[in-house]
Amino acid sequence: MTAVSPSSTMLRVLGRRLRVASWNEPRGARPLLIFNGIGMNAELLDPLAARLDRRVIAFDMPGVGGSPDPLLPYNAATMAATASVLLDRLGIERVDVLGISWGGGIAQQFAFQHRARIGRLALAATSAGVAMVPGSPALLARLLDPAEYGSGRAFQRSLAVLYNGGGAAAPVSFNAATPPSALGWLCQLGALATWTSLGLLPWLEVPTLVLAGDEDHVVPPLNARLLHALIPDSRLELVAGGGHLFVLSHVERVAAALNRFLAVESA
């Protein structure tokens, strides 16, 4: 299936100008709101969005993709509130939510903070925040190194390294990746620097799908097992051969799992 490019618009939400991307026409099902990984612009979601059977919405974080640099730092709570106001601006009452890697923290915070607005939650390649089982020190150091985000070529090279695992999968193109600004990258990093969901997960009353790559060396799959153990109404699915970016490298498998999970209506 050919990837589709999103339609996009700029919206001012709680004092921030955000580039909002949308794929697929409304199809009766709840839209899916995606919180993307650190530094990752919306276009990287094109192959996944093309395979989902509902409207998909995402926005570039401040200083990422088409969104201007933030004027002030933010944290998980303020970004969850921003997403809620954004939905108001779009005239959407309830959504399902997918959080990928860094975006999984924001997705969890959104579920805690705006329970009435969320139907189902999917968490991919993510953890409970700072209370996580750490991954490879070398890969984490690369992820935290601002030099890896300094140019388009460096950023694409860094993403290719994070694509570790999944050697049998189809090659992933990172041509759509654009590097975040230094300020945007630092604000994303700071937003979850002290955040953890560990103490709240047993009270997360949202049907949840936890997805993990069994070869993820950045966020080891033990983190997914922990999320699954602590979230009462959750299911766990491991993607064989999947590295940290299995959402991109194993897109058919991930899309099928999401379509199955999101097709079940929740109260």
**Which active-site residues does the annotation give?**
101
What does the alpha-carbon distance between residue 209 and residue 127 come to, in Å, rounded to a whole number? 13
Residue 267 Cα to chain centre, angstroms? 24
DSSP for residue 63: T
What does the alpha-carbon distance between residue 109 and residue 115 come to, in Å, rounded to a whole number? 10
Contact 170, 249 (CB under 8 A): yes
Contact 202, 228 (CB under 8 A): no
Question: How many other CB atoms sit within 10 Å of the CB of residue 85?
Answer: 13
- Strands (DSSP E) contained in 5-152 are 7-13, 16-23, 32-35, 56-59, 95-100, 118-124
Percent of the chain as helix, strand, coil, to the nearest 5: 35, 20, 45
Number of residues written out for the chain? 267
- Strands (DSSP E) contained in the chain are 7-13, 16-23, 32-35, 56-59, 95-100, 118-124, 208-213, 234-239
Q: How many helices (H) and strands (E) does the chain have?
A: 9, 8
**33: phi then psi, degrees, rounded to nearest 5:** -95, 125
